A and B are shown apart, each in its own frame.
Chain A
């Protein structure tokens, strides 16, 4: 149950796009289409932005999109806005009723 690998930080200017990667193994990210992405503003409850690799819950802007290739999943935020600044975590099902999160990525809007 090793944590998924995410970059510690990414940044972009308002209006730009950024992509956050999430690398695992064939036992988690690569083995299941159950990757989700959470947005976490400090002091608040984490909020799911993407589930099942690329599905977006109602109310989440379509500026947020997810994808997966092999053992790496990605979250892309297009048209960056100030309120997108937060920590982002990926999460994958890892088999045998277990889940694994990534280490988190701090998104800074310049």
Chain B
């Protein structure tokens, strides 16, 4: 059964950096695009970024463009999200999901990023 497990969240000061990881199992990771979605406290879901199966094409929401970098290591079945110049409004639960938004998933349980001084 496909499974995703996020890690790497934590408390970071404004302007700081953090790298999230998403370990995949139960499916052929290298055959699927992968997506990051976040949910700020008390807010709705927000699409963050997507990477193609081979890793050659990446796309970002305007809110994170130029600050976040999505990448993947298909040899390790792992997805990453490098987050730089973090702002207070980046505070959220970050989910990774298999495929594009609207695909059947699954999604992970999420990892919490808190940006605060």
> Residues of A at under 8 Å CB distance from B?
1, 3, 34-36, 38, 40, 44-48, 51-52, 57, 89, 91, 93, 96-104
Contact = CB atoms under 8 A, between A and B. Distances in A.
Nearest to B100: A99
- Closest 4 interchain pairs by CB? A36-B102, A97-B59, A104-B44, A45-B107
A47 B109 CA distance: 11
A99 B57 CA distance: 16
Interface residues of B, number: 24
Contact of A45 (B44, B59, B95, B102): B95
B108 A99 contact: no
Interface in B53-73: 57, 59, 61-63
Given A1-B61, A36-B101, A97 B50 contact: yes
Interface of B: 37, 43-47, 50, 57, 59, 61-63, 95, 100-110
A67 B104 CA distance: 18
B44 A91 contact: no
